[in-house]
Amino acid sequence: MPGDLHTHTTWSDGSTPAARLPFLAKAAGLDALAVSDHDSLESVRWACAEKEIDGVALIPATELTAYDYARRRRVHILCYWPDDCAALAAHCRTMAARRRAVALQMAKELEALYPQFTTAEAEALAAESNTIYKAHLMRVLWQYSLADGLYNETYHRLFVPGGVLHDPQYETVETVLELVRACRGVAVLAHPSVYRSMELARELSAAGAVDGVEIEHPRNTPADKAELYALAQKYGLIVTGGSDYHGMNSKVPHPVGACTTADEQIGRIAALARARKQ
């Protein structure tokens, strides 16, 4: 049976605790699950400790954030089976601190716009994540009917340059890929359509800089998926799929199991990780 290799929980910007996801995976008929919270060691450590819950095999994973400075676009790199090492821990601490700093600035500006908004409530919603995400800020507005949902018109009006948006500093794509290599993980370029990263996908694939590409994703376009399959075949890349589940913290619902990774590809990820750790 296939697995969902891209999900998020309350350890980052999802709304569902990790302990509930194996049940959701089993209910969807899956045998494997990767909780891949953003720049998080929690999801890695949890999967390494538990290994299997409700008959669902847990794959240690994290989704690392990078930035393509040449094209001025964010990039997400899914990292499977990384070592729980000092380099990865340092990256996660750094990104949590950077996110928290800009989130507190955004919260301060939201307090000036909305007397009903309090930073304390956003921090309470983010208690398990070790930082604060825009989803937590929007949840406060939404619950008091100050927003038309989580990621709808209000969000797109507020979180723009000239609004309350402040982005943290991100590391380069090269730096993040070096980190994956340092922790002996398997690097997969996540959802290239989301950040319009097809040119980067071509470059990384040709250079052998990534081990795989995430193709079956709710937001990848049909044209991009067709090209990604061609790239995977040409360069022998691993092909993954995942729902990018965020629970209620999403504009369009994508349940666990909405997109999946085939058994054969899950086996390729595990085999490559084992080889790198020998």
Terminal-to-terminal C-alpha distance of the chain: 28
Q: Specify the pLDDT at position 188.
A: 99
Q: Specify the pLDDT at position 251.
A: 93
Q: Specify the pLDDT at position 214.
A: 98
Q: Specify the pLDDT at position 42.
A: 97
> What would the CATH number be for the domain defined by 3-91+170-276?
3.20.20.140
Q: Specify the pLDDT at position 135.
A: 98
CA distance 132 to 14: 11
CA distance 278 to 272: 10
Q: Specify the pLDDT at position 231.
A: 98
Q: Specify the pLDDT at position 11.
A: 98
Q: Specify the pLDDT at position 198.
A: 98
Query: Domain spans of the chain?
Result: 3-91+170-276, 94-158
- Taking each helix axis from N to C end, the angle separating 198-207 and 173-182, rounded to the nearest 10 degrees, works out to 40
Nearest to 17 by CA among 7, 28, 2, 30: 7
Q: Specify the pLDDT at position 108.
A: 98
Q: Specify the pLDDT at position 168.
A: 98
CA distance 109 to 114: 9
pTM for this prediction = 0.97
Asked if 43 and 62 count as a contact pair (C-beta separation under 8 A), the reply is: yes
Q: Specify the pLDDT at position 36.
A: 98
Q: Specify the pLDDT at position 39.
A: 98
Which residue in this structure is represented by tokens 């494997």? 32
pLDDT beneath 50, residues of the chain: none
List, in sequence order, every residue forming a beta bridge with 77; answer none if it has no partner. 64, 189
Asked if 6 and 63 count as a contact pair (C-beta separation under 8 A), the reply is: yes
Dihedral sign from CA coordinates of 207, 212, 217, 222: positive
